[in-house]
Structure formats: C-alpha cells, structure tokens
Structure 1
C-alpha cells in the first residue's frame, strides 16, 4: 500500500530501494564511529585508574548505550532495505508476464537476475556486519554489569584483561562494516547508472 501511494506521487520502488540502501550505509557508518568512540571511552577508563569509579562506570555505560542505539539503527535500516527490495523484485517478476516482446522479456529477466544477485550479495554483507555487532555489544554489556556490581578499584584492573579482546572485536566489526559500506556504495552506483 505504501509503495503504491509513493508510485502515485512519482516515486518508484527502485528510488526507495536506493535511498534505503544509502540510509543503511549511513547507519553503518554512524555505528562504526560509535563503536570506535565507545572503544576509545572504554580504553580511557582502563588507562586512567585514578579517575573516580562512578565516573568510569558512567562513561562505560554511556558508551554501551550509544553502541546499542547505533546497532538498533543499523538493524532498522537493513529491515527497511529488505522490505522495499522484496516489493520491488515481486513487482518486477509480475511485470515480466506483461511483455509482448520475447527478447525484451529475456533482457528484463537477465537484468532482474543480475540485480537480484547484486542485492543478495549486498544484503548478505550487511547481515554479516550486523551479526558482528552482537558479540561486541555483549562484551560491552558484561563490562558495564561488572562495574555496576563491583564499583571498586579491583574491577577496573580486571577490565584491562578484557580490553585487548574487545579492541580486536571492534576492529573486526569496523572492517566488516567498511566492506559493507563499500558494497552499498557500489550497489547504489550500479543501480543509478543502469537507469
């Protein structure tokens, strides 16, 4: 119903798809920066043991909440991309039966298959990046809970042991998001140049 209303306004599904892929790319970029910032805040807490413990807890908790919000934004954007792509591909398939020209129909089918392959690769990459967020969020949440229940200098010392693993997880996540962002940009460029 939404897509029909948009088409009446002159906005095609392909335009909505390109916009939503762009939005997903932007959400991943924002999440990437949030995770980098959160890691830096976490690092600063571990590296400065003479800071007030409550301040350290607040810093880590805020970093975790920001990361959680960024991850949710990425999930929402991916869902929006999947929603519009499903409608676009369904419409495209239905309209193949409307062709009178067999050669134009075959050309459109081939283009549909190529676009679907590109999209499948793109959405798989987005989901891989999304999946890498959960372990990082879980590690952050563990540290927040540990500090919350053990606000003492010993807790800060114990966090230092976890820092290298969290840093490694965040680095992997950021690389995966960079790949997904690049693939999103390539998809948008290919889709726009085909018009």
Structure 2
C-alpha cells in the first residue's frame, strides 16, 4: 500500500500562502500543488490533521477559560478590575480558538469537494470494468467515512457557540458591574457553563478520535 506522506506543517503553510497569493482560486491552487507533487488526498489528510490539532488546542483554551471564570467567584473587590481584564482576555482567546477550528473545517470541506469530484470524473476514464467498480467502491467507502467525520466536526463547531455566548455574557455583565453582588449573580450561571464546556470537550474528543481514524484509513489505502 502506498503511504500518504504527511506534509511538514510550516512548509505546507508557507507554500499555500505563496500559491494562494498568486492565484486566489481553489481550483488553480490544487492544480498547482499537484504539479508540485502534492495530490489532493495528501492535502486532505494534512487538513484533517490540522483540524484535529485545532480542536485539541481549543480544548485546552476552553478548559483554561472556564477555570479563570470559576476563579472569579472568590475574588476580593480590590482585585475585580484586574480579574475582569483576565476574563476578557480568556474570552478573546476562546473566540480565536473557535475561529481556528471553523477555518480548519472549511479547509477540509474545500479540498474534499475537489477530491471527490475529481475521483468521480476519473471513473469514466476506466477501460476495465472491474477496476472501475473497485475504484467506485473505494470512493463510496471513503466518502462515507468522510461524511461521518465532517458531521462530527460540525457538531463540535456548533457546540462552541453557546459556550462562547455564555463567556461573552459574563464579560459584558461584569464590565459595568464590578462588585461582589454582580459576582454572586453570575455564580449561578457557572454550573450551566461547566456543563456546556464538558459537553463541548467530549464532542471534541470524539471528533479528534474520528479524525485520527480517518487519517489512518487513508494512509492504509
């Protein structure tokens, strides 16, 4: 079996930026990359890996943000301003992490669409019926695995929205209410936020595992 080689992340990013700057078009980009020796399937594996890494990093960011929000409960009034600034930063970091996850998912969808379209077109070029049938079966199996993966990724993506909204609500409320009474009012919300974060992290873990399985299957083909 041919092994799919994992593209070095920094090299891939640098090369991608150069090609995109010159073209601004996905089709031209993939054609250019193919001429450079990088097939769409390699790019797909690489981007699934990027999505996995983005979700893993987002897990840690959301965990850390939740801990910082929880620590606000016992903060003395004299330290509330400094702690508010910290929470505001935690929220912004969570937004950035969520954006990174969404961008990586978009990248996976873009290259997968190009790959499956190319694969389908190439089925018509076979002279051998048995080889065409075998390739079509492999296409259907791969598409099925991909659809399961991308569904899981979008479930994770959708779970981030309510957590971000809850974080933002707390930051907005505290912005103009930096006192013990305000902290007490928000304390009751923390239980719901903890549940949302726990659910989000479980979804991320499942999505990361699905990504790993997809990468392994593709490399074994």
| Short-chain TM bin | over 0.9
The residue correspondences of 1:1-150 to structure 2 (distance < 5 A) are 1-50=28-77, 52-150=79-177
Structure 1's consecutive aligned runs of 4 or more residues displaced over 4 angstroms after TM superposition are none
Q: Partners in 2 of 1:181 and 1:31 — Cα distance?
A: 11
Aligned mates of 2:74, 2:58 — CA distance in 1: 24
| Contact 1:42–1:59, Cα closer than 8 Å, also in 2 | no
Q: Distance in 2 between matches of 1:93 and 1:62?
A: 47
> Could you tell me how far apart the structure 2 residues matched to 1:57 and 1:16 are?
42
Residue matched to 1:163 = 190
Compared CA separation, residues 51 and 105, structure 1 to 2 (3 A): farther
CA shift at 1:75, angstroms?
0.2
**Which ranges in structure 1 are unaligned for 5 or more consecutive residues?**
none
TM-score by length of 2: 0.86
Q: How far, CA to CA, are the matches of 2:199 and 2:76 in structure 1?
A: 27
Decide which moves more: 150-159 or 44-53.
Answer: 44-53
The two structures have a TM-score, normalised by structure 1, of: 0.97
For residue 30 of structure 1, report the CA deviation from its aligned partner: 0.5
- How many residue pairs get aligned? The number is 194
Q: CA deviation at 1:98?
A: 0.6
Displacement of 1:48 after TM fit? Answer: 3.1
**How far does the alpha carbon of each residue in 1:116-159 deviate from its partner, in whole angstroms, 9 at most, with x for none?**
00000000000000000000000000000000021222111112
Deviations 1:2-37 (A, max 9, x none): 000000001000000000000000000000110000
Counterpart contact for 1:49–1:156, Cα < 8 Å: no
Residue 51 of structure 1: CA displacement? 5.4
